């Protein structure tokens, strides 16, 4: 699984597990977003830090955890990738002194781990820990500023512990730091709204003969053809555009529910405006499909993006978001 999580107006929970590691104090890390990948034998995360002086250029911490022996080949691949750039000469790090093996040591892993540490440049340090059943690789990178007193690095190395009984793969919980007055609220569709939705979906399926079309891409393609016809065909009245937008938009929304397990709901924005949306299961994203289709019909300069948007969401190629952000798509 691959997930990018935006931390605008949010922070990590105070303590979370990552593979065989237990990490504390993460709520204090100044990070912009993180990328999390997991499997039965590997968990990795790249924490992209905020760019503030003197760290006002890209800076990050990457942690990779491997369960051995099943992840032995993947570990060997990653070690080869890092060590092939290893320098033979001693390097002066960004802090001013020559690199020492004790720099950014994660002491919570204990002496029973075989350790290796080396710089790849003045602003990049790799630390490797290997034990019988687990291995961990840390990458600390700054493009400006120092390494040893970096606000994320220095806190992380002091607060990471080893738990041999743990193998945690879940993405950490995110804490919303916005006041409640600046958060979205939602409620389920009313019985009347849901009944009307199903009537419209059935009507579109019948009119466009989509019952026998099983591929989502082809169904979204059929919707794009309808929108293109509305753009280029005889001019429609305002009421006709609204009716067509409701018809096609409702079907588009239901497709997300069928294919991606999204849900219909009434979303109230912080400014009090209300929209009928389909929302991703963790509420990271929301689409107001009727508004989307209306804009595609009336704004002929906009590219038709129903197929593209669905494919990007399905293949997790959207910009980083986070749970309960209700980031508007479409």
Q: Are residues 13 and 154 in the same domain?
A: yes
Q: What is the pLDDT of residues 161-209, one digit of tens each?
A: 999 999 999 999 999 999 988 899 999 999 999 999 999 999 999 999 9
Distance CA 324, CA 132 (A): 40
Q: Are residues 77 and 62 in the same domain?
A: yes
Mean local confidence (pLDDT), 112-139: 96
What pLDDT does residue 265 have? 97
Q: With bands split at pLDDT 50, 70 and 90, how would you rate the model's confidence at 1?
A: confident
Return the beta strands (E) in the chain as ranges.
Answer: 2-6, 10-12, 15-18, 21-24, 31-38, 42-49, 59-67, 114-121, 124-130, 134-142, 160-162, 174-176, 185-187, 263-268, 274-279, 285-287, 327-328
Q: Are residues 78 and 116 in the same domain?
A: yes
Last residue of a domain, one of 157, 176, 195: 176
Q: Are residues 285 and 185 in the same domain?
A: yes
Last residue of a domain, one of 135, 153, 176: 176
Name the average pLDDT for the chain.
Answer: 95
Q: Are residues 144 and 277 in the same domain?
A: no
Q: What is the pLDDT of residues 17-71, one digit of tens each?
A: 999 999 999 999 999 999 999 999 999 999 999 999 999 999 999 999 999 999 9
Q: What is the pLDDT of residues 216-265, one digit of tens each?
A: 999 999 999 999 999 999 999 999 999 999 999 999 999 999 999 999 99
What pLDDT does residue 10 have? 94
Q: Are residues 76 and 90 in the same domain?
A: yes
**Domain count within the chain:** 2
CATH number of the domain at 304, please: 1.20.120.1090
Q: Are residues 145 and 29 in the same domain?
A: yes
Q: Could you give the percent of the chain with pLDDT greater than 70?
A: 100
Range of the domain at 318: 180-328
Q: Are residues 53 and 148 in the same domain?
A: yes
Whether the CB-CB separation of 27 and 13 falls below 8 Å is answered with yes
Given a cut of 90, whether residue 321 has pLDDT beyond it is no
Q: Are residues 154 and 198 in the same domain?
A: no
Q: Are residues 187 and 172 in the same domain?
A: no
Q: Are residues 166 and 214 in the same domain?
A: no
Last residue of a domain, one of 152, 176, 200: 176
Helix (H) or strand (E) holding 148: none
Q: Are residues 9 and 21 in the same domain?
A: yes
pTM for this one? Answer: 0.80
């Amino acid at each position: 699984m691959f997930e990018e999580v935006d931390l605008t107006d949010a922070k990590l929970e105070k303590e979370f597990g990552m593979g065989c590691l237990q990490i504390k104090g993460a709520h204090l890390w100044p990070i912009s977003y993180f990328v999390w990948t997991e499997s039965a034998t590997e968990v990795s995360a790249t924490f992209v830090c905020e760019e503030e002086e003197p760290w006002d250029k890209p800076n990050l911490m990457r942690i990779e955890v491997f369960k051995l022996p099943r992840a032995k080949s993947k570990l060997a691949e990653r070690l080869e990738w890092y060590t092939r750039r290893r320098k033979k000469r001693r390097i002066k790090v960004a802090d001013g002194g020559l690199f020492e093996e004790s720099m950014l040591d994660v002491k919570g892993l204990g002496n029973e781990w075989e350790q290796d540490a080396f710089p790849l440049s003045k602003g990049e340090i790799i630390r490797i820990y290997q034990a019988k059943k687990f291995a961990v690789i840390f990458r600390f990178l700054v493009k400006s500023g120092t390494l040893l007193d970096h606000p994320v690095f220095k806190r992380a190395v002091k607060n990471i512990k080893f738990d041999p009984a743990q193998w945690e793969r879940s993405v950490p919980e995110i804490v919303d730091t916005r006041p409640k007055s600046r958060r979205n609220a939602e409620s389920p569709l009313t019985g009347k709204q849901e009944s009307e939705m199903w009537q419209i979906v059935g009507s579109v399926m019948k009119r466009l003969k989509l019952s026998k079309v099983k591929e989502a891409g082809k169904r979204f393609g059929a919707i794009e053809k309808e929108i293109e016809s509305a753009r280029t065909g005889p001019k429609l009245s305002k009421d006709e555009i609204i009716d067509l937008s409701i018809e096609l938009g409702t079907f588009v929304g239901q497709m997300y529910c069928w294919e991606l397990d999204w849900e219909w709901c009434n979303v109230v924005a912080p400014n009090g405006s209300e929209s009928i949306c389909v929302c991703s299961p963790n509420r990271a994203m929301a689409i107001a499909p009727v508004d989307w289709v209306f804009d595609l019909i009336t704004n002929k300069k906009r590219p038709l993006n129903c197929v593209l948007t669905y494919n990007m969401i399905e293949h997790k190629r959207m910009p980083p978001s986070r749970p309960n952000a209700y980031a508007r798509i479409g």
